[in-house]
Each structure stands twice: as structure tokens, then as C-alpha cells.
């Protein structure tokens, strides 16, 4: 297989395979109350739950089942003595597992057993992050059935939920180790920065940068630890319009639409609008098919009146698509959801809670990686995403000043978008029209006069690049938009809360200056002074280690080590995109999809290549 063929070959993403419910809209509250106790949710809704909202959500999530393929070792103790055998686990939840027996004899052993012990491995990617572990615990037989195709199935209920089991056998150990490591790492970093003060006179700018950088990064973790999401008020359900801009997303748009409609939120206060930006694949067909299937659900879900789509007559860009949705939105709040992102069933209910504050202008939800376990690249991104949201955005939210309400899931007051729509659509920088960075750009408009926040309990998952070529193009686009919008935000951020303003400007200077500092420490000093940069390398190692350890502490995930790998990848590769972004941040191409700007750029390259070949042929003739 040639190089080009290898590049074209698609990497198959590893995704959670949730067992489908009988209905497409299993979480939508039923106004007519026709559900019965046979339903997975038992007919309950959050409004009728007497306890705390978070307890209700936990109880629902504990019943979510995932399709798996585990080898399960079963040990039974009964009247006939002790027996062992191996069977297959075919679906699992935190509270139980469904086993497929090889024969009727194995089923009979379970039926007649006095005690049952199960031993299996929760494989990475088969359940949400944090559950991957070896399990050995008791279980009770809940039911046994023989299917029409002759399979023997037995439903088992764990003696302890997997969350309880992890807390006792895995998480407690991780919590102790991670907490101790964070304390030691932070103390060591502060001691190293104290040493910088001693050498300050030799190179004041370098050591000043070192001290400021360490203080800035440690402060992010400190304020992130203080952050708390706004709890759910069951009586607060403002009207919400979800807008999904779509361009060439035939693979994922069906799942995205379903996740946005299938929300635990009052039917009459939630609408969904899909805006297709003149896709040239089968996206529009998929959108129509999905909406038609939804209309086949029971009438109480009112699909006709609250789920619709718009097809742009020509490709105008993501901002135009979002604005078309805003213009026809019925409700006071609008939620932007990327077409390859999937909402948790309680995402909207959680996302709107900060708007109880009348000064709140926009809120970002948490974005997890949906294809975490595909390869090393996606694992690195998973850690990076989690730290970026749970730590960095959480720290900004502590001061009501989140600087980027990210595209996968964000909510705004509709009137603010309408007031700035023309400026947003016609934004230019150095004479060039801005075609990406729409989330940072709109966040700047909101931040000028309103508060912005982050809601960690409003969760969506998104598909991230699984190939380095695509990932690097995405990162270059993000750096260009970050640089452009940070320059714009710098014009007014000084008027905000003092700590927030200070951290913003430090956060702008540190990454811009980073390439120069790295070159100075890793090349200039060793060559001219013949000193090995031990202190600098140890500092980088410690900062990468604290990122990984925080991931381990908060998420208990086996991917934690990839935080360190990401930091190495960043220093070796991503860091050097920043100088390129300095001189090319005016570019308007996406790089990861064929927008009109990308098509123009490709056509220019083709013309240049044709001209070069023509000149070469002409030179050969002479």
C-alpha cells in the first residue's frame, strides 16, 4: 500500500456502544403521562422526583447499558459443590451485567447457586472513562431467559455497583497517591521558582518569565479547584432553541440531532433547528431521514412544531448558518452545538442554570472526547480536553470570565447575538474576512458587557481528529483564531475584574513568548554557555506531570499518562505552530474541510503547480 493510499485509509474510531432504548426519545418528558413501570425510566421525570436533581440523574445514569464482548469467569457455590465456567458478557451497566451461557447446563448452575462470583475486565472504551478495571465480586441472579434463536441469557445484579467497587478497590488508592503527588509537585515547582529569584540578576527577563509562567499555571489549578457548577433548580426551565450548523457531516449528523432532541427538558420549551450550509455530501438526506423518523414517535413529543431544518442555497460559512437559525429561533436562549457533537440527556437542563443570574450572557458546557480510545493521538486529546475544560475554563468561570464559549456546546441569550449579528458576520481583521474562530469571536462580543461562565455538569462528547495531519491543521486554525481574538479581547479586558484581567494578559504573553524561551533554554544556553538545561527540562517534566496527575485525581482514567505525552508532543510539535500563526493569522482557510476559502486556496495551488510544470516543460524544450 502506497503512502497516499495509507493516508486515505480511514482509521475506525472506537466509540461507546450504548444499548438502544425501544424509543428514540426515551428521555423526553411525557406530557400525557402514558409511560408505565415497564419503561426503563419507570415513568419518572425530574419534576416529579422528590430528592435532589443530581441523585435523580445518577439513578438514571446507573441504568444505562453498554454493549460489550467480555469473557466472564463465573464461580458458583451450591448444593452440588463449587463449579467454575466461562461465558460471555454482552451488555453491562454500573449495576449489573447480562451473560450469555454456552448451554443450558451453565444456566442451571446459576439458577441453583447459593453464591455467585464474577471475574472480568472492564475494557477501556467499553464504558465511560474511569470504569476500566479488573472486577471480582459477588452477584445475584436477576432473571434467565431463552431467546427465540436458542441463546441462554442471564441478567446478573452486582452486590456493589461498579462505582462503589471502584471507590473501594481503585479510586481510593488513586485519590491518595494523586493528592500526595500534586502537593509534592507544586511544592517542588515553587522551590524551583524561588531559586529563579536568586539568579534573577543574570537574566531578569528569562527568570521573570519563568516565575510568571509557573504562578499562572499553578493558579489555574488552584482556582479550578474552587470552582463549583450551578446546581439544578427543577423549576427553572427557560425556553431554549438548539441550533446545529452542518456542513458535510453525513456520518454524525443523525446522532447529533437525536441527542439534541432526546433531552430531559419540557417539550414546549425546547426546539431544535438544523442549518445545512449547502453540503455536497448526503448530509441533507440524513437530516430529512432523521426528522421523519422522529415524527413517527408518539404525538406527545410534538416533533412537527419544534424540530426543523434549513438548507442554505449556497455555502456561506458557519457564522451565516448559525445566524439563520438565530433569526427564526422561538426562545430566549440559543444553544450552539457542532454537528459532530453529542449531548448528554441532561445537558440542556444543566447548561441553562447559570442564566438565573440576569447578568449572565453566555455559558459553555464541558466537551469530552467521544473517540478517546481509538489511538494514542485521541487519548492525548482526551486528557487535554478534560484539563482545558475542568481546570482552565473552570478557573475562568470562578471570575465569571470564560474567554471562549466553545463550539461543541455553548448557550447565549438570543438578544445579545441579534445585537451583534452584523458585526459578527462582517468581522474583518487586517482587511481579511474572519471565517473561523466564531466561538471566540462571539464570546468577545458577550464579554464586553456581560458575564460568561462554564457549567461542568452540562456534558457533550465530540469526535476529534484521529490522524496527525488533520489534527495539526485543526490546531493551526485554532492558534490563528486564538491570536486574532485575544488581540481583540485585549482592548477591553482591562476593564474586567482585576484578577481576571491580570490572568488574561499573562495567558496571552506566555504562549506567544514560549517558542523564544524554549530556543533560548534548549539551544542558546547549551551552545554558548555549555550548560545542560537540567532545570528547564525538570520544570517542563513537572508541569506535564501535574496535568496527568490532576486527570488521574478527577477522572480516575487510565489515560492519565497521556497528559505527559501530550506535553512532550506540544513542546516538540505544536509549540512551533505559534510562530507560523504570528505571520499567517490573517488566513481564512479551515484546512480540515473544503469551505469556499479552502476551495479557492486549492485552486490557487493547482494553478501554481500547472504554471511550474509548464515552465519546466518550456525549459526542457529550450
Tens of pLDDT along 394-436?
Answer: 999 999 999 999 999 999 999 999 999 999 999 877 767 777 7
Pick the closest to residue 492 from 426, 416, 401 (CA basis): 401
Burial (CB < 10 A; 0-12, 13-18, 19+), residue 397, is buried
Full-model pTM:
0.90
Q: What number is the average pLDDT over the span 200-209? A: 72
Report residue 37's pLDDT band, with 50, 70 and 90 as the boundaries. very low
Q: Which helix (H) or strand (E) holds 551?
A: helix 534-555
More confident residue, 215 or 260: 260
Q: How much is the pLDDT for 38?
A: 36
Determine the 3-state secondary structure of 594 from DSSP: coil
Q: How much is the pLDDT for 54?
A: 86
CA distance 132 to 66: 13
47 touches 232 (CB < 8 A): no
- Biggest CA–CA distance in the chain, Å, is 98
C-alpha cell belonging to residue 580: 507560523
CA distance 508 to 504: 6
| pLDDT digit string, tens, across residues 241-255 | 999 999 999 999 999
DSSP 255: H
Other C-beta atoms lying within 10 Å of the C-beta of residue 46: 18
Q: What number is the average pLDDT over the span 183-194? A: 76
Q: How much is the pLDDT for 214?
A: 85
Report residue 598's pLDDT band, with 50, 70 and 90 as the boundaries. low
- Neighbouring residues of 512: CB distance < 8 A, sequence distance ≥ 6: 483, 578, 582
Please check the confidence at residue 39 and state whether its pLDDT lies above 50.
no
Q: What number is the average pLDDT over the span 188-213? A: 72
Judging by DSSP bridges, how do beta strands 240-246 and 428-429 pair with one another?
A: unpaired
Calculate what percentage of the chain has a pLDDT beyond 90: 60
Determine the 3-state secondary structure of 299 from DSSP: helix
Q: How much is the pLDDT for 205?
A: 75
Sheet strand arrangement including 341-343: 307-311, 270-276, 240-246, 333-337, 409-413, 360-369, 451-462, 341-343
Helical H segments across 358-437, by residue range: 376-387, 394-397, 414-419, 421-425
Other C-beta atoms lying within 10 Å of the C-beta of residue 314: 8
Pick the closest to residue 333 from 269, 260, 239, 472 (CA basis): 239
Pick the closest to residue 226 from 396, 359, 367 (CA basis): 396
| pLDDT digit string, tens, across residues 335-362 | 999 999 999 999 999 999 999 999 999 9
CA distance 588 to 597: 6
Q: What number is the average pLDDT over the span 90-106? A: 94
Q: What number is the average pLDDT over the span 171-197? A: 74
Calculate what percentage of the chain has a pLDDT beyond 70: 87
Nearest-5° Cα angle at 62, 56 to 65: 135
What are the two backbone dihedrals, phi and then psi, of residue 130, each rounded to the nearest 5 degrees? 105, -20
Please give the mean pLDDT across all residues of the chain: 87
**For the ranges 56-70, 154-168, 529-543, which has the lowest average pLDDT?**
529-543
Judging by DSSP bridges, how do beta strands 409-413 and 428-429 pair with one another?
A: unpaired
CA distance 38 to 614: 73
Q: How far apart are the first and last CA of the chain?
A: 38
Q: Is 270 left (phi over 0), alpha (psi -120 to 50) or beta?
A: beta
Please check the confidence at residue 315 and state whether its pLDDT lies above 80.
yes
Distances (CA, A) of 387 to 13, 201, 465, 573: 22, 35, 18, 20
Q: What number is the average pLDDT over the span 126-130? A: 93
Amino acid at each position: 500500500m502506497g503512502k497516499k493510499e495509507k493516508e486515505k485509509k480511514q482509521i475506525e474510531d472506537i466509540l461507546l456502544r450504548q444499548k438502544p432504548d425501544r424509543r428514540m426519545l426515551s428521555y423526553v418528558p411525557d406530557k400525557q403521562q402514558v409511560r408505565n413501570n415497564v419503561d426503563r425510566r419507570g415513568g419518572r421525570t425530574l419534576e416529579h422526583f422528590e430528592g435532589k436533581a443530581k441523585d435523580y440523574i445518577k439513578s438514571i445514569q446507573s441504568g444505562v447499558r453498554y454493549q460489550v464482548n467480555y469473557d466472564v469467569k463465573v464461580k458458583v457455590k451450591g448444593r452440588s459443590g463449587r463449579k467454575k465456567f466461562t461465558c460471555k458478557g454482552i451488555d453491562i451497566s454500573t449495576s449489573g451485567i447480562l451473560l450469555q451461557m454456552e448451554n443450558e447446563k451453565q444456566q442451571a448452575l446459576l439458577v441453583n447457586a447459593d453464591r455467585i462470583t464474577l471475574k472480568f475486565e472492564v475494557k477501556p472504551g467499553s464504558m465511560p472513562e474511569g470504569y476500566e478495571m479488573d472486577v471480582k465480586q459477588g452477584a445475584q441472579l436477576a432473571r434467565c431467559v431463552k431467546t427465540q434463536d436458542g441463546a441462554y441469557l442471564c441478567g446478573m445484579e452486582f452486590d456493589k455497583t461498579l462505582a462503589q467497587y471502584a471507590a473501594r478497590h481503585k479510586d481510593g488508592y488513586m485519590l491518595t497517591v494523586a493528592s500526595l503527588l500534586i502537593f509534592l509537585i507544586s511544592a517542588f515547582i515553587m522551590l524551583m521558582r524561588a531559586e529563579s529569584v536568586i539568579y534573577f540578576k543574570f537574566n531578569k527577563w528569562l527568570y521573570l518569565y519563568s516565575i510568571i509562567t509557573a504562578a499562572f499555571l499553578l493558579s489555574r489549578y488552584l482556582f479550578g479547584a474552587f470552582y463549583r457548577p450551578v446546581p439544578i433548580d427543577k423549576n427553572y426551565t427557560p425556553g431554549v432553541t438548539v441550533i446545529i450548523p452542518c456542513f458535510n457531516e453525513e456520518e454524525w449528523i443523525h446522532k447529533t440531532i437525536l441527542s439534541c432532541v432526546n433531552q430531559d427538558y419540557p417539550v414546549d420549551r425546547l426546539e431544535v433547528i438544523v442549518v445545512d450550509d449547502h453540503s455536497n455530501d448526503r448530509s441533507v438526506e440524513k437530516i430529512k431521514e432523521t426528522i421523519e423518523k422522529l415524527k413517527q414517535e408518539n404525538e406527545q413529543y410534538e416533533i412537527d412544531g419544534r424540530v426543523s431544518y434549513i438548507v442554505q442555497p449556497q455555502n456561506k460559512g458557519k457564522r451565516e448558518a448559525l445566524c439563520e437559525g438565530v433569526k427564526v429561533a422561538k426562545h430566549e436562549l440559543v444553544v450552539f452545538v457542532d454537528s459532530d457533537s453529542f449531548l448528554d440527556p441532561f445537558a440542556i437542563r444543566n447548561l441553562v442554570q447559570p442564566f438565573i443570574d440576569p447578568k449572565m450572557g453566555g455559558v459553555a458546557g464541558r466537551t469530552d472526547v467521544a473517540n478517546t480510545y481509538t489511538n494514542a493521538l485521541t487519548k492525548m486529546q482526551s486528557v487535554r480536553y478534560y484539563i482545558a475544560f475542568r481546570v482552565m475554563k473552570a478557573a475562568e468561570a470562578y471570575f465569571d470570565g470564560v474567554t471562549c464559549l466553545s463550539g461543541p456546546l455553548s448557550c447565549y441569550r438570543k438578544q445579545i447575538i441579534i445585537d451583534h449579528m452584523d458585526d459578527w458576520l462582517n468581522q474583518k481583521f487586517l482587511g481579511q474576512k474572519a471565517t473561523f474562530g466564531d466561538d471566540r469571536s462571539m464570546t468577545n462580543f458577550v464579554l464586553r458587557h456581560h458575564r460568561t461562565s462554564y457549567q461542568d455538569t452540562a456534558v457533550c462528547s465530540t469526535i476529534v481528529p484521529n490522524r496527525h495531519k488533520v489534527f495539526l491543521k485543526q490546531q493551526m486554525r485554532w492558534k490563528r483564531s486564538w491570536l486574532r481574538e485575544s488581540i481583540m479581547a485585549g482592548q477591553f479586558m482591562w476593564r474586567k475584574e482585576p484578577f481576571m484581567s491580570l490572568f488574561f494578559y499573562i495567558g496571552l504573553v506566555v504562549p506567544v513568548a514560549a517558542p523564544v524561551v524554549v530556543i533560548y533554554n534548549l539551544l542558546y544556553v547549551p551552545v554558548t554557555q555549555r550548560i545542560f538545561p537540567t532545570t528547564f527540562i525538570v520544570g517542563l517534566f513537572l508541569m506535564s506531570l501535574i496535568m496527568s496527575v490532576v486527570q488521574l485525581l478527577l477522572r480516575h482514567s487510565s489515560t492519565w499518562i497521556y497528559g505527559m505525552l501530550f506535553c512532550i508532543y506540544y513542546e516538540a510539535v505544536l509549540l512551533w505552530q505559534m510562530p507560523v500563526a504570528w505571520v499567517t493569522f490573517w488566513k481564512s482557510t479551515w484546512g480540515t474541510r473544503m469551505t469556499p476559502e479552502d476551495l479557492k486556496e486549492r485552486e490557487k495551488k493547482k494553478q501554481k503547480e500547472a504554471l511550474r510544470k509548464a515552465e519546466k516543460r518550456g525549459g526542457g524544450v529550450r
